[in-house]
A and B are shown apart, each in its own frame.
Chain A
Amino acid sequence: MSTNRKTRRSPGRAARGISWALAAALSLMLTFALAGAAALYVIQSQGLHERVASNEELIRQETEWARDKIRDLAEEYGFEADRTLAVLDREMLARRNLAGLTWIRDTVNSGKPKQGPKVDNGEIEEMLSGLLRFPNLKDQNQINQAYGDATAGIVRIVGNATFFFRSDLTDLGLEKIRNYADIRSFLNLVNRLPLILGILAAIIAGLMILLVAGDPREALKYAGCSLGGAGILTAISGVLIVLLDLPGAAAAANGRLATMIRLIGQELLLPLILTVVLLLAAYGVCLTFYSRRNRRPAAVQSGTEGAAAEMPAAEGIAAEMPAAETSEPEEPAAEGTLSEGTISEGTPSDETSSDETPSEEISSEETPSEGRTEK
């Protein structure tokens, strides 16, 4: 019979304190990493851009805005506005929206100023060639002049309806910043921020394992709580961003931009909920493994770890025991019975919480548990 005693120590009070502090830091870091990943998703995701660009509500708003502007222009130049409104084609507006979002992505990726999105104004001019009529004008020169001005005006209106950033100002701002800082390397850093934070999170998790006496399973508790904490913090961040009401703030500047920001927020809602659920599920899994390990009877644990060679059946018993435990997983031990998590009579220990892992402290000889009786 093996008299193998476990020599693994429980983590001390200081180690546990530091581990909890690391867990809190890890939660916050994971939350920032997720926020960075969300920002990158918004900037880089082609699918998201396509869905936002072809959104019915956005296109309806753009159409209404452009219609009003074209009517104003029609009054000024004396052409028939209703005929020209056919130029506001849904597909064309969606293409221009996508071009605008692609311009933002390319500018963020390259850090180099670009003169606005690449759009084909020729298709608008082609459509207008059969639609623009000036019934009040008789002189051909006046008609030609008015035709040119009206066409340029409508092209400008359609452009402003779908792309409402002052690209000249953003170009100027980027050029100014380029004089002082290397935008490219900064953008590279921002792009890699989630990865960097992920690596830091792995280092913190490794530190936790070291602090809890090299026991990865003990570290599961801290890592699990970090993941669950990150889930809670992510949910809180989501609520705070909703409370910030960015679409409301943008509405004062531009209604279409407000709609665009709201659509992007809606696109992020489902991934956010899924992430929170996944993080809380990961917390549950970690805690389940951690508490199952602590609830496992000492004799079975020592049998599997210490005397596996001597007792081949111990593996089977160890496999069967957790299944038996699951029938009453959270029931406190009845008085007078020797159940999991209960310190047996004569065991010299003051530490009774599950955190202290009493099973580790007890040798196979000291515990008259089921493992021995089943043998």
Chain B
Amino acid sequence: MTQKTKRKSGWGGILTAALPGAILLIAGFILARPYILKAFGLALKTVVKR
């Protein structure tokens, strides 16, 4: 009787480590993008000469 060995491909682990951060980054990007661009534009208009 032999039990079949279940070997992880390795992608499961890396995705487990990366997924929470990726969700955080992408969600943060989607939510904060307009504000970042607005703040960036305002700062440039104030500090940068045309």
Contact = CB atoms under 8 A, between A and B. Distances in A.
A219 interface: no
A332 B6 CA distance: 8
A335 interface: yes
Contacts of B25: 31, 233, 236-237, 240
Contact of A233 (B21, B40, B41): B21
A20 B17 contact: yes
A232 interface: yes
Interface stretch (A186-194, A341-349, A365-373): A341-349
Nearest to B45: A253
Contacts of A246: 40
A160 interface: yes
> What's the interface size class on B, roughly?
35 or more
A332 B21 contact: no
B42 to A, nearest CB: 10
A230 B21 CA distance: 9
Interface string B18-33: 1111101110010001
A60 interface: no
A283 B13 CA distance: 10
Nearest to A280: B14
Interface of B: 1-8, 10, 13-22, 24-26, 29, 33, 36-37, 40-41, 44-50
The 9 residue pairs across chains A and B that have the minimum distance between CB atoms:
A229-B17, A229-B18, A253-B44, A28-B21, A225-B13, A228-B14, A225-B17, A23-B17, A232-B18
8 contacts: A24-B18, A28-B24, A164-B49, A229-B15, A240-B29, A250-B48, A252-B44, A254-B49
